[in-house]
Chains A and B, each alone.
Chain A
Amino acid sequence: MTRYLVWGASWLFILLVLVTPPAMVLTEALKDGLGASLATLSDPDAQSAIWLTLRVSVVAVVLNTIFGILAAWVLVKFRFPGRQFLQILVELPLSISPVVSGLVWLLLFGAQGWFGPTLERWNIHIAFAVPGIILATLFVTLPYVVRTVMPVMEVQGRDAEEAAVLAGAGFWQVLWHVTLPGVRGALLSGVLLTTARALGEFGAVSVVSGHIPGETETMPLHIENLYNGYQSVAAFTMAALLAFMAMSAVLLRSAPDWIARLQEKKA
């Protein structure tokens, strides 16, 4: 009896709170038909926003993946003074407000920032330009790969690596042939989480971007712009596209499980 009550309440809650928002995005986007919503995507500002988001995400994912692997390696495989402090530092961006994550880059590179005026003289623009967007995105997505890879590396232990070193392997060989294959799943998961976060980052980017349509507007910023301009269909179409991209990245994390299950069924 209690069990059925719990089941009913749980699903009611899930449907009302969690399922309605994505359903709403789709209905709002398709309010005037598929053709009308697709047409909004061919707007030049929309296209530029999509491209900018993709470019920024690729840079953020590539750089933070490389850094994430190295940081996880050094934090897991070695013991040195300040190791725990370093680990806390690496995870810090997770607990900082997105707006603050953007603000710090303005304080460094904005017109009133520490280095802003100097760079301005050399004609280097970071704040209210694409480099600022990239810096803010790198900051907020920094912890994901480290965080997902570290626990798996921890479980892995050092035996295999030590055996490889005794067999004469160098750092890159150990990393490439021994360590990374063992953390493949976690690495994929971390990369996909980084991607999802990079695609959808709003607060941090909003602060540093300057909101110049066609130039420094990413997809989330463009959505805000459209929504505030009462272009509901266009806003929700872009939202649907962005949500689809971010959610598929998150869902793809279980892809290795599905493949394994499919292979099991075949075998």
Chain B
Amino acid sequence: MTLSRLAFFRAGGSALPGYRLSLTLTLAWTGFFIILPLSTLLVYPWQGGPAAMLSALHDSRMLAALWTSFSCAGIAAACNIPFGFLLAWALARGHLPGHRLADALIDLPLALPTAVSGITLATLYGPQGWLGAVLAEFGISVSYNKAGIVLALMFVGLPFVVRAVEPVLRNLPQELEEAAHLLGARPWQVFIRVIAAPVLPALITGFGLAFARGIGEYGSVIFIAGNQPFKSEIAPLLIVVRLQEFDYPGATAIALVLLCVSLLSLALIGGVRRRFALWSEPA
């Protein structure tokens, strides 16, 4: 039994060739490019002893930067939910005129290199920029403060929400709405109970993806953020600052927190997906 199972795994459970070669190469490649580099994150902070690590984690500037990153990423992801839902609905069910073009434009923040988005958003929402000037009329300043960070993170996070929600909306059978209408539901009840509710897991997924992306985002944020310590300094930037100060343990401590939080949010997404797997199955 064990021997036959061993033989099964030795062959990869398949009669196809190339198992050992491709597995060896894949393991070597991931070993060097993923496991080795990431193991530094886990080991390096402790090299100076646990006391050094603990003191690094108590750095108030770091805590402020982490708070800025998490709160701004959270707010941006939350703001993206209504807009993302609107766009996803317009694309999937709303027969939006020019939907092909709109569809391509949704992915634009993913295609635009982050440095380009960074300087562009900073100029656009700067005091003299096209949109910044308009907002300044109303006394709203979005550049060089947290509002700017939120704005930049909304820009890069939008596609995640739209792309998470859109396929679910598209696959909801038309009959569900018709059935709800026939059972006497009023339009808003149809929307809340039959359209929005099944999309909820996808919305949470989109939120989680946008949040995970947001806490790590660097290039598109630093130009608009102002980068004042304790105020508008994001965690990835503080890593760069620490590196410039040759404080590698300090940089690594922040990196470790960022990594853990983004893995945690991805694990949560996985959990939500499994928990609500039944919802997306057609019945």
Contact = CB atoms under 8 A, between A and B. Distances in A.
Interface of A: 3, 6-7, 9-11, 13-14, 16-22, 24-25, 28, 67, 70-71, 73-75, 77-81, 86, 89-90, 92-93, 95-100, 103-108, 110, 112-114, 135, 138-139, 142, 158, 161-162, 165, 170-172, 174-175, 196, 199-203, 206-207, 219-221, 223-224, 227, 232, 235-236, 239, 242-243, 246-247, 249-251
Given A18-B108, A74-B23, A139-B33, A6 B216 contact: no
Interface stretch (B137-145, B166-174, B254-262, B275-283): B254-262
Given A21-B120, A96-B216, A174-B17, A196 B111 contact: yes
27 contacts: A6-B86, A14-B102, A20-B130, A22-B120, A24-B120, A70-B29, A71-B30, A77-B14, A77-B19, A78-B16, A79-B9, A97-B216, A97-B259, A100-B236, A100-B239, A100-B258, A103-B239, A104-B255, A108-B40, A135-B33, A138-B33, A170-B17, A174-B17, A200-B114, A220-B115, A220-B116, A243-B116
Main secondary structure on chain A at its contact with chain B?
helix
Main secondary structure, interface of B, reads helix
B131 to A, nearest CB: 7
B176 interface: no
Contacts of B215: 97
Contacts of B217: 97-98
Contacts of B15: 162, 165
Nearest to A99: B236
Interface string B78-97: 00000100110110001111
B180 interface: no
A160 B27 CA distance: 26
B114 A239 contact: no
| Chain B CB within 10 A, most for which of A75, A105, A138, A202 | A202
Contacts of A96: 216, 259, 262
Given A21-B124, A78-B13, 20 more contacts: A6-B94, A20-B130, A70-B29, A77-B16, A95-B263, A97-B217, A97-B262, A98-B217, A98-B218, A99-B239, A106-B248, A107-B248, A108-B40, A138-B33, A174-B16, A199-B113, A224-B119, A242-B113, A247-B111, A250-B107
A236 B115 contact: no
A164 to B, nearest CB: 9
Contacts of A224: 115, 118-119, 223
B50 interface: no
Interface of B: 9, 12-19, 21-23, 25-27, 29-30, 33-38, 40-41, 44, 83, 86-87, 89-90, 94-98, 102, 104-121, 123-124, 129-131, 154-155, 158, 212, 215-219, 223, 235-237, 239-240, 243, 246, 248, 251-252, 255, 258-259, 262-263, 266
